[in-house]
Structure formats: structure tokens, C-alpha cells
């Protein structure tokens, strides 16, 4: 399959979520369902569009180190070559990234059953049944809100972020009572009921790879329930923390 290098790298970054998903089982054209080791985050990523499949129907391949693949795909880019097309193929137990005269990468793959983020079908179905239904509370993820949260979380080296919603809007608080804090109020943080949800760095890592600010939305399902962030077809299902849980 031929794909632009920057499109492949960005796709993998949107799956890895800043390291929350270290490995993945892929089908088709790098389509995957992957779960973090603590089972708080489920990533549902579509295949790369407008390209041939790498794994045929019924087949799957395990990539044991997403960060290494992302960095390896960047090794040969050079200035101005980010959008160059690379040819990605499977060669026995290796993923081959071929850029002809610029170089060739052969990275070891792994059996799907050895991949830690692999999602069992019954677990996937159970989580999907808990997703927001039509008409659920929906909050747009605007660039100012997302960048304010991510930059402040990094600046304060925060460990918690709490989302407050209600009929009249709400706020997001970065940090907790034992550290520096920041609050971002917004009328768009509306929900049918008034409640709050507590998250750790998972939430911020997801926001850090949001790209489609015109369409990215946060779907709410209620107090103490799963949320879903949809960013152009990439879906991130996240469980809130229990109040008082260790950061």
C-alpha cells in the first residue's frame, strides 16, 4: 500500500495517544481497536482512506511498539519530505517501509495474541453498548478550550482534570487542591444534569491529538459514566476516575 508519510505518522499518533496505547493489532489499512493497560481508555480508529489494504480480510498484524514505528517512519523524511509517499508492505514477520532511493525499513511484527492493547470481542461489545445514544449531551471541542487545557496541564505538571457540566454551562478545572489550579468556564459545557467527572492524563493526551476543531466533540452519558470524544471518525471512549482515587 502507498501512503503519504505524514498521513501514516499522524494516524499512528492518533492511536498512540501520547503513549497511552503502546502497541496495537491492525486489520485492513491500519484499522484498530485498542485498549490502554489500565482499561480506562478504548481507541477505535478507522483504516487509512483511499489506499489498498495491508492485511486482507480475516488477517491481522500486531505492531509491538507504535512509538518506534512512528519515529522510524520519520527517520528518512528530511526537510520538505514529510508528504512523500512511502510503500508499506508485509514481508514474512516484518513491516516494510520502502522509500526507494531514500532508504528501507524492516520492523518486526508480533502475533496479535501477544499485543497488550488487544481488545476481546465481548469486552468491545460491552463497552459499545454503553456509548452515548442519539440526542446525548454533546460539547464542541474548540481550539481555545483544547489548547488552554493542554498547555495549562503541562505547565502545572498536573495529575487531575475535572469537568463540571450543567444546564447553564460549566467549567474545567486543571489541577487539584494540593497543587496549582486553573479554571476554564464555558457556556458550551452544557448537560441535562449538573455533575462533574474526574480524569487523569488520559483525557489530556486525547485532547493533545485532536485535529478537526470544526467537528471534534465530547459526548456525555451522565454522572460516573463513560464519555466519548469523536475527532473526525477516531473515537476515544474514556472512563472517569473515582473521587479520591490515586492520581
Tell whether 92 and 177 lie within a shared domain: no
Residue 244 lies in a domain: no
80 pLDDT above the threshold of 80: no
Locus of grid cell 467537528? 215
How do residues 237-246 score in pLDDT, each as one tens digit? 999 998 754 4
Tell whether 159 and 119 lie within a shared domain: no
- Domain finish residue from 108, 128, 148: 128
Q: Cβ distance 77 to 86 under 8 Å?
A: no
Average pLDDT of the segment spanning 25-31: 97
Contact partners, residue 43, CB within 8 Å, separation at least 6: 15, 17, 21, 32, 33, 34, 35, 234, 235, 236, 237
Domain count, the chain: 2
Tell whether 205 and 107 lie within a shared domain: no
Tell whether 85 and 111 lie within a shared domain: yes
How do residues 117-149 score in pLDDT, each as one tens digit? 999 989 988 988 888 776 678 999 988 889 999
Q: What is the pLDDT of residue 246?
A: 44
Domain that includes residue 27, residue range = 2-128
Whichever domain contains 63, its CATH number is: 3.10.150.10
Residue 155 lies in a domain: yes
Among the residue ranges 47-56, 73-82, 167-176, the one predicted with the least confidence is 73-82
Its pTM stands at 0.91
Amino acid at each position: 500500500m502507498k501512503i503519504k508519510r505524514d498521513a501514516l505518522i499522524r494516524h499512528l499518533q492518533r492511536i498512540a495517544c501520547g503513549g497511552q496505547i503502546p502497541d496495537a493489532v491492525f486489520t485492513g489499512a491500519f484499522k484498530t481497536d485498542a485498549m490502554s493497560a489500565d482499561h480506562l481508555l478504548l481507541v477505535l480508529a478507522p483504516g487509512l482512506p483511499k489506499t489498498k489494504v495491508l492485511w486482507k480480510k480475516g488477517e491481522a498484524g500486531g505492531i509491538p511498539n507504535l512509538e518506534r514505528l512512528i519515529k522510524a517512519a520519520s527517520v528518512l523524511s528530511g526537510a520538505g519530505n514529510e508528504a512523500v509517499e512511502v510503500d508499506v508492505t508485509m514481508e514474512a514477520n516484518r513491516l516494510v517501509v520502502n522509500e526507494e532511493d531514500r532508504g528501507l525499513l524492516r520492523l518486526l511484527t508480533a502475533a496479535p495474541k501477544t499485543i497488550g492493547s488487544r481488545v476481546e470481542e465481548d469486552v468491545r461489545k460491552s463497552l459499545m453498548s454503553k456509548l452515548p445514544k442519539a440526542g446525548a449531551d454533546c460539547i464542541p471541542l474548540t481550539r481555545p478550550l483544547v489548547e488552554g487545557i493542554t498547555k495549562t496541564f503541562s505547565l502545572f505538571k498536573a495529575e487531575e482534570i475535572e469537568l463540571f457540566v450543567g444546564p447553564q454551562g460549566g467549567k474545567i478545572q486543571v489541577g487539584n487542591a494540593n497543587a496549582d489550579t486553573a479554571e476554564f468556564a464555558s457556556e458550551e459545557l452544557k448537560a441535562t444534569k449538573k455533575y462533574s467527572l474526574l480524569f487523569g492524563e488520559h483525557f489530556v493526551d486525547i485532547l493533545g491529538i485532536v485535529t478537526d476543531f470544526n467537528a471534534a466533540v465530547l459526548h456525555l452519558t451522565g454522572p460516573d459514566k463513560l464519555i466519548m470524544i469523536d475527532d473526525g471518525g477516531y473515537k476515544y471512549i474514556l472512563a472517569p476516575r473515582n473521587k479520591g482515587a490515586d492520581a
